[in-house]
Amino acid sequence: MTLLQISLLAVVALYLACVLAVHWRGKERLRFRRQLTEHSGIFASFNCLMYGFSAVPVRPFLDPGLFPESRLLKEHWKTIRDEAVKLLESGRIRYDENHKDLAFVGFQRRGWKRFHLKWYSDFLPSARQACPRTVELLASIPNLNSAAFTLLPPGKKLGRHRDPFANSVRYHLGLVTPNSDDCTLWVDGQPYSWRDGEDMVFDQTYVHWARNDTDTSRIILFCDFTRPLQTRLLRAFLSFMNRRVFGITASHNEPEEAVGFANRATPALFRAKKLFIALKHRNRRTYTIVKQTSLALLVGYLVYSLA
């Protein structure tokens, strides 16, 4: 074997090791085939780098005290709540009908809704106009990647999933909640029930899911804080990724607001996914053949490249 072939095999072996590490972390896991083909598998190497050099514990729930900047949000939760309620009453906490929201496209059919405040760039013009006090508070947080008001309606649930990137940790602040254990988030099997004015931080790359089995909607402030890292070099690398790469998934609230590159393609991807799902329901045998053929071609290409 040539040095190039050995190097390629080493890269593939390292990637597969990272996929397995992501798959087996924690108590809860997705099916391995799903893990391998979803974003959390594709970006497993990046995520393992984040876990390995994380300056905060790598576990499902984190102490909000590790993020002192969040104190300001909790202290002013009623101010934030009032602006969220006004948005709700005006019908502006909703889901983009054009599917230009790649990060959350799978939640639409679950009834989940959102109003973006920030997404890996500056604050959205609609957010500045509709909730100026919330934006002012959030703008004082230097490591804020994204923020939104999110709503989980009565009787709805979010299925088991893990987020694709470990560049952030997630912050939730209860604004208008059922204040009940029947409205719960599970992170790696550990439950958390939202309460008005209470906050928490969790690692969204663990398998998590949520249910609202009450007759009251749940509205929270949803934020992603940059994951603290141990070395200056990796902090600089992550800063670059946050500024230049993850911003391609930027979404909008109003049609005239700009979206990231990836979201401009999301409507077409969504239509293609619907066609693929329709094929599965119409002719499962054809669907299986197409799927297995695609995987075989991919594996064949990789083997040919290494031969």
Domain ranges of the chain: 61-259, 263-307
Q: With both helix axes pointing from N to C terminus, report the angle between 132-139 and 77-89 in degrees, rounded to the nearest 10.
A: 140
Of the listed ranges 117-121, 199-203, 237-241, the one predicted with least confidence: 117-121
What CATH topology corresponds to 61-259? Answer: Jelly Rolls (2.60.120)
pLDDT, average across residues 47-67: 95
- Whether pLDDT at 266 is above 70: no
pLDDT, average across residues 210-214: 97
Q: Considering only residues 282 and 301, tell me which one the structure prediction assigns the higher pLDDT.
A: 282
Of the listed ranges 48-52, 228-232, 297-301, the one predicted with least confidence: 297-301
Q: How far apart are CA 242 and CA 195, in angstroms?
A: 30
pLDDT value, residue 103: 56
Determine contact, residues 99/263, Cβ cutoff 8 Å: no
Q: Considering only residues 14 and 84, tell me which one the structure prediction assigns the higher pLDDT.
A: 84
Determine contact, residues 94/252, Cβ cutoff 8 Å: no
Q: Which amino acid is at 301?
A: Y
Q: What is the pTM of this model?
A: 0.82
The token duo for 164 is 């694709």
Q: How far apart are CA 13 and CA 8, in angstroms?
A: 9
Q: What percent of the chain has pLDDT over 90?
A: 52
pLDDT tens sequence across 20-33: 888 888 999 888 76
**If pLDDT is split at 50, 70 and 90, which confidence band does 306 have?**
very low
